[in-house]
Structure 1
Amino acid sequence: MISEASPGALPAAEAASASISAVTAQEQHCTLIGPFPQIYRGQDIVQRLKALQVQGDLREIEMQGQMRYWVFLPPLHSRREAFSKLRELQAQGIDSYVIPKGTLADGISFGIFSERARAELLVAELSSKGIGARFREEPQTYLERWIVLKPGAVEHLATEFWQQLGEEYPELDRRQNLCSEVAG
């Protein structure tokens, strides 16, 4: 049976529709062109896009690099205690240093490794000497310059534009990414 909605129900329906639109907007894909080691090259292409009436923004985007593994002793109660422990470790011939700042400040670092197996091996070696070291994953990040095009902007660019761009800058990549991840 079809019935008329009460006037009070309409704002809730409009709010639900707006909420769905917001989620959809966040999940849209932007086109990225890059990376640009030299900023002037990115600026050149942004100007060329602007001449074609396409808005492109040159941005520095944080990229995920390889995972690293940090072997450490958790922070001690004071800096004095940390240096006392450091002297004890170094007297045993164990390469280490006091962590000066961050969430592990006043802890002891035994090194950062690119391979998990090496970190686990060091933790085991230290454990056999009665040292309760731990390790944690540290994602390595770095910044790259990319031109970000909003959803739908690519449709305004002719195939010839992409061909010419590929000939002039063969090292460039074009990829899709969630716009919410590259918001600037």
Structure 2
Amino acid sequence: MRWIFLFLVVSNCGLLLWHMLEESRVERIQKMNQLSGVEAVMPGERIRLFSEGRDDADLSVQSVSGESKNDGVCYLLGPVDDQDVRITLAKYLERANVGFGVREVKINQRIDFAVYLKPQPKRETAQELLEKLKAKGVDSFIIPGGELANGLSLGVFSEKKNAIAQMHYVSSLGFDANINESEKYDLEPWFVLDALNVEMSDIFWQKLKQEFPSIKKSQGFCQ
């Protein structure tokens, strides 16, 4: 009888200790999750993924017109330099219920290095300086407008080392030459398809290619 009593006491103590440890473990989990901003999951509960509970139709992207709800990556079609082709392509996309916009994309980006003499107070002064440069065998012309109006252009170079060489040469003749760096580029019009159209079928692209064989498909940021 005494052994049975001792067994029950030990069992109850063990059960009580287990409950205390389990409660302590859950409290630690809850505290850590509160610090990390994640809701605690109690033992036995199932974690539900965000993707669960969606219909298959919700996972397919539809071709829609209107404002994009995604500022991520979009498809670009182009270049479309010809205005008639732009109009035809726009009508084609509208019939297909595809949202789009037109963007001018920078191509052939480069840096030009212009060697020049600073603008003169008057046109007459610039003309006098031009004559002095010619007498030294330096080709130049008066800049007609802009921030450097009435300055003198001494050449534009695609490589900086060549511009520096020209600047040093003109400076050695007694003129105060400078270098101005400027970004240059060409613009091409491209159609930017709505971001919600990024999963359009291969059939759509095949038909588009047949209708517009010169059009290329690329990817870029929507904004």
Equivalent of residue 143 in structure 2, options 90, 94, 99: 99
- For the pair shown, the structure with the greater C-alpha radius of gyration is 2
Aligned with 2:207 (options 146, 164, 176): 164
Structure 2 unaligned residues grouped into runs of 5+: 1-30, 35-68
1:56-135 alignment runs, 5 A limit: 56-63=100-107, 65-135=109-179
Q: Which runs of 5+ in 1 are unaligned?
A: 3-24
Instruction: For 1:82 and 1:26, locate their aligned partners in 2 and report how far apart those are by CA, in whole Å.
Output: 54
Please give the alpha-carbon distance, in whole angstroms, between the structure 2 residues aligned to 1:170 and 1:51: 19
State which drifts further: 42-51 or 94-103: 42-51
TM-score (norm 2): 0.61
Contact conserved, 2:116 with 2:153, CA < 8 A, in 1? yes
Equivalents in 2 of 1:40, 1:96: separation in Å?
A: 42
Amino acid at match of 1:107: G
- Secondary structure, counterpart of 1:31 in structure 2: strand
Structure 1 residue 126, shift from structure 2 partner? 1.1
State the aligned residue count.
Answer: 157
Superposition deviation, residue 139 in structure 1 = 1.5
Could you tell me the TM-score, scaled by structure 1's length? 0.73
Q: Which residue of 1 aligns with 2:40?
A: none
Counterpart CA distance in 1 for 2:167 and 2:196 is 51
- Deviation, 1:27, is 5.3
Opposite residue 172 of structure 1, the aligned amino acid is: I
Taking the aligned partners of 2:84 and 2:198, their CA distance within structure 1 comes to 22
Which residue number corresponds to residue 176 of structure 1? 219
The share of aligned pairs that are identical, in percent, is: 32
Instruction: Output one character per residue of 1:124-147: Cα deviation in whole Å (capped at 9) or x when no partner.
Output: 211221222111222212221211
Cα distance in 1 for residues equivalent to 2:156 and 2:76: 32
1:37 and 2:81 aligned:
yes
Matches of 2:214 and 2:158 in 1, distance apart? Answer: 27
Q: Which amino acid aligns with 2:185?
A: T
Match of 2:190 among 146, 165, 177: 146
Given residue 158 of structure 2, which amino acid in structure 1 is its aligned partner? S
1:10 alignment partner in structure 2? none
CA RMSD of aligned residues (A): 2.4
